[in-house]
């Protein structure tokens, strides 16, 4: 007796979906780590695209066979979203979580102030943002809504920095110095 096989299930499609989902979720966490790391934007972007491009060359044929397509747009996007995002998160998380335990305290003058929109349903609860010149590098520090009044009156910031595993500084704590 032969058992009919259902050819509609393809484990590769499930794999591609799950790995892209993991990449997107880890990228959300990476953004939170990025806000606490002093690093040029070009470095994480370079990691994402370099790893995604390398993975694309190894995986293009399998992806095209799995989805019965030709071309490079979808397999390139898949590899950037999955492997590029995952690698970038691992890089940023390693630098952040394996950073040195010693803090160095710096004071900086506030260069500019702005705000980010609040979450859905609380758009009026904006998050104040302070920009400082961190040794020739503009770094934005995001505060919470209740700190808005304190931020408006401040003219400088105190920052506690740790040295990250890969040498990129990590913000341990920061607060404004009121006039």
Rounded CA-CA distance 19/75 in Å is: 13
Q: Each residue of 1-19: pLDDT tens digit?
A: 555 555 677 788 889 999 9
Write down the pLDDT at residue 40.
Answer: 92
pLDDT band at 68 (very low <50, low <70, confident <90, very high): confident
Q: Each residue of 140-169: pLDDT tens digit?
A: 999 888 888 999 889 999 999 999 999 999
DSSP state of 3: P
Residues 6 or more apart whose Cβ sits within 8 Å of residue 140: 35, 129, 130, 131
Q: Does the pLDDT at position 105 exceed 90?
A: yes
Structure tokens at 153: 């009156």
Q: Considering the entire predicted model, what is its pTM?
A: 0.83
């Amino acid at each position: 007796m032969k058992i009919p096989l259902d050819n509609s299930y393809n484990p590769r499609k499930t794999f591609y979906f799950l790995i892209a989902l993991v990449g997107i979720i880890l990228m959300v966490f990476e953004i939170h780590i990025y806000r606490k790391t002093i690093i040029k934007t070009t470095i994480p972007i370079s990691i994402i695209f370099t790893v995604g491009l390398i993975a694309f060359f190894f995986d293009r044929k399998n992806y095209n066979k799995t989805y019965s397509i030709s071309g490079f747009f979808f397999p390139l996007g898949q590899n950037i979203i999955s492997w590029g995002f995952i690698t970038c998160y691992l890089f940023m998380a390693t630098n952040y979580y394996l950073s040195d335990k010693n803090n160095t305290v710096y004071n900086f003058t506030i260069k500019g102030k702005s705000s980010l929109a609040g979450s859905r349903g609380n758009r009026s609860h904006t998050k104040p943002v302070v920009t400082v010149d961190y040794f020739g590098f503009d770094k934005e520090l995001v505060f919470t809504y209740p700190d808005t009044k304190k931020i408006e009156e401040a003219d400088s910031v105190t920052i506690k920095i740790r040295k990250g595993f890969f040498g990129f500084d990590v913000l341990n704590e920061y607060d404004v110095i009121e006039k």
